[in-house]
Amino acid sequence: MPRPRRDASIFEALAVRKPTVRQYHRTGYLTDDKRLIWEYPRAGPKGDQMDFVEAMELNDDGLIQRHCVYWGWFGFGVLQRDEYHR
C-alpha cells in the first residue's frame, strides 16, 4: 500500500514560527537495540534551548513502533506560552 504524500507546506510553516530556543543540540544516545533514547538538554552551546527527551521502541527490523517525547520544564514553558504562534 503506497504511503500518502506529505504536504511540505506544514513543515515550512512550522519552520517560520520556530522559537529561537528550539535548537537541535544533543550529544550521544542510549540503545539496547529495542529502545533508542536521546536528550536535548536545556544548556546548549548557543545558550538555553528547549529541553526534552525522545524515546523510541524499535521492532526487530529497527523500525520505530512507538515514539514518545518527554518535555523538560523549560521546553514545556515554551509550549505553555504558545511561542510557536508568535
Enumerate residues 6+ apart whose C-beta is below 8 A from 30: 36, 37, 38
Residue 29 belongs to some domain of the structure: yes
Q: Indicate whether 10 belongs to any domain.
A: no
> Is 7 within the bounds of a domain?
no
Is position 37 within any domain? yes
Question: What is the model's pLDDT at position 2?
Answer: 57
Dump pLDDT digits (tens) for 23-78.
889 989 999 999 999 999 999 999 999 999 999 999 999 999 999 999 999 999 99
**Banded model confidence at residue 8, pLDDT cuts 50, 70, 90:** low
Q: At 53, list the grid cell.
A: 527527551
d(CA 77, CA 51): 10
Domain hosting residue 31, numbered range: 24-85
How many domains does the chain divide into?
1
Specify the pTM: 0.73
Sign of the CA dihedral running 23, 21, 19, 77 = positive
